[in-house]
Structures are given as C-alpha cells and as structure tokens.
Amino acid sequence: MRRFCKEILRTFLMPVFMVVILLGGCSPLSEKEDHDAGREHDEVLEHEHMHEAQRGDTVVLPDSLLKEFGIRTAVAGPGILKGYAYLPGEVVIPSSALAHVHPRFPGIVKEVFRQTGDRVHAGETLAVIESNVSLTDYPVRSRIDGVVTEMHLVKGEMVDEKDHGFLVADLSRVWVYLKIYQKDLPYVREGQGVLLSAGEGFPVVAERIDYISPLIDAFTRTGQARIVLQNEDYRWMPGLFVSGKVEVRRKRVDVLIPRSAVERLEDMPVVFIRRGDRYFPRMITIGLENDEYVEVLEGVAPGEEYVTEHGFVLKAELQKGLFGEGHAH
C-alpha cells in the first residue's frame, strides 16, 4: 500500500509537468517580450549618434541627408519687416475734378460738338445755344480739361438754365477710397505707402495714403483712406474695385527669419539651430510678423545658423519616440 502511494505521488508529477509546458507554450505573456524585441529591432536601426540625439533633445543629421531631405539653412541676420493691412476700396472721381456745364440762358440748342467720352479742354466750346432772351447764339464752354461724362443736350431741344448741359470730369487724377476695418484703424496712417491693384491684368501701383477721414461710416463701421492716383491713360476707371495693401509698418529688426523656419513644439514656436551636424530646437519669442517673415526677439542670435526649410523633419525626429506607440488605432 505504501508503495502504491509513492507511485501515485510519482505519477502525480507528470500532470504538473504537462500543465507547466502547456501553459508556457500558450502564454501570450511570454510572447510580448519577443514581439517587442523584434519590434525594437525593426523600428530603430541603431545608429550610434541617433540614439544620443534622442536623449539630449538634439538631432544629429549627417550633411549627406540635408540634400536628400531638402533641409536648408541660413545665417540669422537683420532685416526690414514690413507690416501690411489689406483693404478693399474703389476708384472714385475726386469731387474737385467735376465740372457741370449749364446753359446760361434758356434757349434752343443749335449745335452740339462733343459727345460723352470726348476729351475736352478748358474753354472749349461744347455746344451752341440760341438764347431766348437775346435771340443770339452763345457758346457753352467747358470749365476744365477733362472727359465728357454726361451729355444732355440734343439739337433743337429747348433748354432753360436749370437744365443740365454737360458733366465734365477731370480723370487725369482719381481718388481711391479704401475702407479701413476697425481692426486696422490703429495702424493705418496718412503718408503710409500702399500698393493698389484692381486684380489680374491690372498694374500694381505704389502710392501713399493722402488723407484719412476723421469719421467712421455709421453703416458699415469702416474708416476711409484716400489715395490720389495719376490717371493720364484713364486706366483707373471710377467705380473700379481695387484692393490696397497698406504698409502699416516698416521696422528694422535684428533677427528676421522666414515663417517657414518656425516650427511648433509643444505649442511653442521654435527654430532649429545648427551647429555642425547637430540641430537643436530653440524656443523663440516672436515680435512682429507678416505673411512671410517674423521678427525673433529672443532665441536666435544674429550670426547663428538656423534651419529655414523642412525643419519639420527634425521636429518629427525629436518626437519619434512619442508617436511610435499605437500607430493609429
């Protein structure tokens, strides 16, 4: 009987052994170690320096890669930063450049010499009217050089002194009224340079703001800036819609960099500084900026070499450790 018990004990070892093996084989637990080891091997081909780079918030990039990845650098230096306001507006006839021509006495129109669109000179006879008072002909003359924009006289027509004869506009000079939105009001000043254009096909002309209305339009809540345009060739037709790019600011700054150089790292603007084959992000304080350039107040010293293009590659390399896990799902 004792021997039998011993036998049972001995044979009992066997199922235990069996269970151990089965569990060992089926356990996904052990799989992870292996899987991970494989993955690490897969994902990070360990270049000595790359490793170091990830530790110290520095990216090491051999020069040979610069060209392949299109990374460009430049040396930080001063520059002029201009600030712009973009304002819509339209071409209008200056009120001082309009001249009405009225018949002096009631009478009958005998001759009309000029049509709408004709260019006329000051003193030029536009029409002849036979006066009802004197029964003599008298000429109707333009008071200014300009273009006939309205003509209301028809031969044989009976007119009196209240009738509108001609409207002559001097378009050699026109005004552009730009609307200034509330947000731009503090910056737009008289005398600032402005680039005007009426869109594709029209020339871009540089002018200055001549005058700013002291009043705000009660309806649209916009201010008004006036620009005087030379218009010898009559290209700027009144009523034409133009947009103005007003240079509201012009400042010489110590460090001016292109916008493309600014990357965002943890919601902070940074610029990648280059030292040999090492690149590291430097947090910057941005001063003024426009569509293309930004002023760096702090973070990049003049003379330092920084990445101007495709710094994103470096940023991504820095964050590589973070986005590796759970790729997307």
Partner 1 sequence: MNRWIDISLNNPLLVLTLAVLLMAAGYFSYRQLPVDAFPDVSPSLVQVFTETEGLAPEEIEKYVTFPVEAAMNGLPGVEKIRSVSNFGLSVVNIYFRDGTDIYFARQLVNERLQEAREQIPEGFGDPQMGPISTGMGLILFYYLEDTTGRYSLTELRTLQDWLVKYQLQTVPGVTEVLGIGGWEKQFQVVVRPEELLRYDVTLDRIIRKIRSNNLNVGAQFLEKNSEEFIVRSVGLVTRKEDLENIVIKEHNGTPVYLAQLADIRVGGAVRRGVQTMDGVREVVSGMVVKLYGTNSSTVIGRVEAKMREINKALPEGVRLVPYYQQKELVEAAVNTVVRALLQGIVLVSVVLVLFMGSVMPSVVVAVSIPFSILFAMIGMRFLGLSVNLMSFGGLAIAIGMMVDGTIVMVDNIDRMLREAPPDMLKKEVVARAAREVVRPILFAITIIIVVFLPLFTLQGVEGKTFRPLAYTVALAMLGSLLFAVTMAPVLSLLLMRRPGGKYSDAKGPVQPGESRIVKTLHGLFVPFIRYFVRHRLLAVMLALVLLGVGMLVYPRLGSEFTPALQEGTIILRLTMAPSISLKESTRITRIVERRVLKVPEVEHVVTRIGRGEVGAHTDPINSAEMYILLKPRDAWEGVATQQEMEEKIRRAVGEVPGVLTNFTQPIQMTVDELLEGVRAELAIKLFGEDLAVLKEKAGEIAAVIRRVRGAADVQVDQVSGTPQLLIRVDRQRIARYGINVEDVQRVVRAAIGGEKAGELFEGIRRFDILVRYRQQDRADVADIRRLLVAAPGGARVPLAQLAEIRELTGPRQITRENSQRFITIQSNVVDRDIGSFVEEGQRAIEAAVALPPGYFVTWGGQFRLQQEANKRLSLVIPVTLLLIFLLLYSSFGSVRNTFLILLNIPLALVGGVIALWLSGQNLSVPASVGFIALFGIALENGMVLVTYLNQLVRQGVPVDEASVRGASLRLRPVLMTAVTTALGLIPLLLATGTGSEVQRPLATVVTGGLATSTLLTLLVIPAIYKWFAAIPEHQREK
Least distance in angstroms from the C-beta of 143 to partner 1 = 32
Q: Which stretch binds partner 1 (CB under 8 A): 45-53, 111-119, 139-147, 160-168?
A: 45-53
| Position among 77, 79, 88, 106 found at the interface with partner 1 (CB under 8 A) | 88
Cα four-point dihedral sign 46, 52, 54, 58: negative
Q: Which stretch binds partner 1 (CB under 8 A): 102-110, 151-159, 175-183, 187-195?
A: 175-183
Phi, psi of 78 (to 5 degrees): -75, 170
112 vs 307 by CB, closer to partner 1: 307
Q: Which stretch binds partner 1 (CB under 8 A): 66-74, 134-142, 164-172, 228-236?
A: 66-74
- The mark string for 210-239 relative to partner 1 (x by CB under 8 A, - otherwise) is ---------xxxx-----------------
Give how many residues touch partner 1 by CB under 8 A: 73
Least distance in angstroms from the C-beta of 169 to partner 1 = 21
C-beta neighbour count of 128 within 10 angstroms: 17
93 vs 313 by CB, closer to partner 1: 313
- CA-closest candidate to residue 174, choices 87, 89, 97: 97
Our finding on whether 315 is near partner 1 (CB under 8 A) is: yes
55 vs 219 by CB, closer to partner 1: 219
Least distance in angstroms from the C-beta of 83 to partner 1 = 11
18 vs 133 by CB, closer to partner 1: 18
d(Cα 236, Cα 176) in Å, to the nearest integer?
9
Q: Which stretch binds partner 1 (CB under 8 A): 15-23, 91-99, 127-135, 188-196?
A: 15-23
Q: Footprint of partner 1 on residues 252-311 (CB under 8 A)? A: 264, 266-267, 290-291
Q: Footprint of partner 1 on residues 181-210 (CB under 8 A)? A: 181-183, 199
Least distance in angstroms from the C-beta of 172 to partner 1 = 25
Our finding on whether 67 is near partner 1 (CB under 8 A) is: no
d(Cα 141, Cα 126) in Å, to the nearest integer?
5
